[in-house]
Structure 1
Amino acid sequence: MDEGNETYVTYFILVGLSEYPRAQVIFFCLLLMSYLIILLGNSLILLLVHYDSWLHTPMYFFLSNLSFLDMCYTSSSVPQVLINCLVRIPSISLGQCLAQMYADLYFGVVECLLLAVMAYDRSIAIGDPLRYPVRMSPQLCVKLAVMSWVAAFLLTVVPTLTMPLEFCGHHMINHFSCELLAILKGACNDLEFYEWLMMATSSLTLLVPFAFILASYGRILRAVLKMHSAEGQKKAFSTCSSRITVVVIFYGTAISVYMIPQNKANQDQDKIISMLYGILPPMLNPLIYSLRNKDVKMALRKLVGEKNVS
Structure 2
Amino acid sequence: MAYDRYVAICDPLHYGTVVNKETCIQMAAITWISGLLYATLHTGATFAVPFCSNPINQFLCVIPQLLKLSCSDLYLIEVVAISFSACFGLGCFSFIVVSYVEIFKTVLRIPSAQGRDKVFSTCIPHLTVVSLFLFTGVFANLKPTSNSRADLDSAVAMAYCVLPPLMNPIIYSMRNKEIKAVL
Query: TM-score, length-normalised on structure 2?
Result: 0.82
Residue 230 (structure 1) shift: 0.7
Structure 2 residue matching 1:243: 3-state secondary structure = helix
- Among 32, 40, 43, the residue aligned to 1:160: 43
Matches within 5 A, 1:48-59: none
Matches within 5 A, 1:131-170: 131-163=14-46, 164-170=48-54
With over 3 angstroms needed to count, the CA separation of the structure-2 counterparts of 1:178 and 1:159, relative to structure 1, is: closer
> Equivalents in 2 of 1:224, 1:136: separation in Å?
20
> Equivalents in 1 of 2:61, 2:136: separation in Å?
17
Q: Paired residue for 2:8?
A: 125
Q: Paired residue for 2:72?
A: 189
Quick check: 236-245 or 121-130, which moved more? 236-245
Q: Which amino acid aligns with 2:51?
A: F
With over 3 angstroms needed to count, the CA separation of the structure-2 counterparts of 1:165 and 1:140, relative to structure 1, is: same
Residue 250 (structure 1) shift: 1.1
Deviations 1:64-95 (A, max 9, x none): xxxxxxxxxxxxxxxxxxxxxxxxxxxxxxxx
- Structure 1: 5+ residue runs without aligned partners? 1-117, 295-310
Residue 279 (structure 1) shift: 2.7
Matched positions, count: 176
Residue 201 (structure 1) shift: 1.3
Structure 1 residue matching 2:34: 3-state secondary structure = helix
Q: Paired residue for 1:81?
A: none
With over 3 angstroms needed to count, the CA separation of the structure-2 counterparts of 1:255 and 1:265, relative to structure 1, is: closer
Residue 131 (structure 1) shift: 0.7
CA RMSD of aligned residues (A): 2.5
Matches within 5 A, 1:243-254: 243-254=126-137
Q: Which amino acid aligns with 2:49?
A: L
Percent of aligned positions with the same letter in both sequences? Answer: 38
Matches within 5 A, 1:1-310: 118-163=1-46, 164-170=48-54, 172-262=55-145, 264=147, 266-285=149-168, 288=171, 292=175
With over 3 angstroms needed to count, the CA separation of the structure-2 counterparts of 1:191 and 1:160, relative to structure 1, is: farther
- Structure 2: 5+ residue runs without aligned partners? 178-183
> Equivalents in 2 of 1:178, 1:237: separation in Å?
37
With over 3 angstroms needed to count, the CA separation of the structure-2 counterparts of 1:204 and 1:293, relative to structure 1, is: farther
In terms of Rg, which structure is larger? 1
With over 3 angstroms needed to count, the CA separation of the structure-2 counterparts of 1:283 and 1:141, relative to structure 1, is: farther
